[in-house]
């Protein structure tokens, strides 16, 4: 009798093993509570996750490199070439939003200073608006572009800018914007100006 029970148990184990092989258990994965699902399958970063652009902006200075100084001026129906050196001094950044001041010299003589506020998406799309900060009637200046980060960690903008004054004059300029630091070649010799960055800013 006992051997019959033993044979039954062995057969039952063999049947269970065969079922497990034919019907494998597939593990179920769930998203971590620190990530939120967005439309089109995009995952939102957790609020406390590292911001991939933060180090690009904080207390940074950006300039126009020599290869993209060319701009075009429009004035009462006349279009002429111009050299546009613009320096951005970014003073604050938080979760894709940044602000600071912009300093521009057209043909190294026409000077303007504006406040800037902008945003950058997680895909690197950039939108900036520049405000004069004065009561003078001036159209807003807007810029669209992209922020890229190379594998080396180097950050750079590719921007398209348009400005207008009372609907009769304006400037269009596409350019790279690259960061500079004290001691860099372009910091000491700002392209198109024959000045250092501090000397250039001291004009405003």
Residue 47 pLDDT level (bands cut at 50, 70, 90): very low
Q: What is the pTM of this model?
A: 0.74
SS3 178: strand
Percent of the chain with pLDDT over 70: 74
CB-based contacts of 97: which residues, under 8 Å, 6+ apart?
A: 117, 118, 119
Percent of the chain with pLDDT over 90: 59
Residue 38 pLDDT level (bands cut at 50, 70, 90): very low
Q: Walk me through the domains of the chain, giving residue ranges and CATH numbers.
A: 54-201 (2.40.128.120)
| Residue 21 predicted with pLDDT over 80 | no
Please provide the distance, in angstroms rounded to a whole number, between the alpha carbons at the two ends of the chain: 105
108: left (phi over 0), alpha (psi -120 to 50) or beta: left
Backbone angles phi, psi at 127, to 5 degrees: -135, 130
């Amino acid at each position: 009798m006992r051997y019959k029970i033993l044979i039954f148990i062995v057969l039952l184990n063999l049947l269970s093993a065969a079922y497990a092989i034919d019907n494998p258990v597939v593990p179920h994965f769930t998203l971590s509570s620190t990530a939120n699902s967005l439309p089109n399958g995009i995952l939102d970063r957790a609020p406390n996750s590292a911001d991939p652009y933060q180090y690009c902006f904080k207390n940074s200075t950006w300039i126009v490199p020599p290869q993209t100084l060319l701009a075009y001026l429009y004035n009462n129906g006349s279009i002429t070439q111009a050299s546009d050196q613009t320096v951005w001094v970014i003073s604050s950044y938080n979760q894709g939003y940044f602000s600071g001041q912009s300093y521009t010299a057209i043909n190294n003589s026409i000077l303007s200073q504006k406040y800037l506020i902008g945003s950058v998406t997680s895909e690197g799309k950039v939108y900036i608006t520049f405000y004069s900060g004065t009561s003078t009637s001036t159209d807003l200046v807007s810029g669209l572009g992209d922020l890229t980060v190379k594998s080396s960690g180097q950050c750079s903008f590719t921007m398209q800018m348009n400005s207008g004054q009372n609907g009769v004059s304006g400037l269009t300029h596409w350019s790279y914007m690259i960061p500079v630091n004290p001691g860099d070649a372009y910091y000491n010799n700002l392209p198109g100006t024959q000045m250092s960055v501090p000397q250039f800013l001291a004009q405003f």
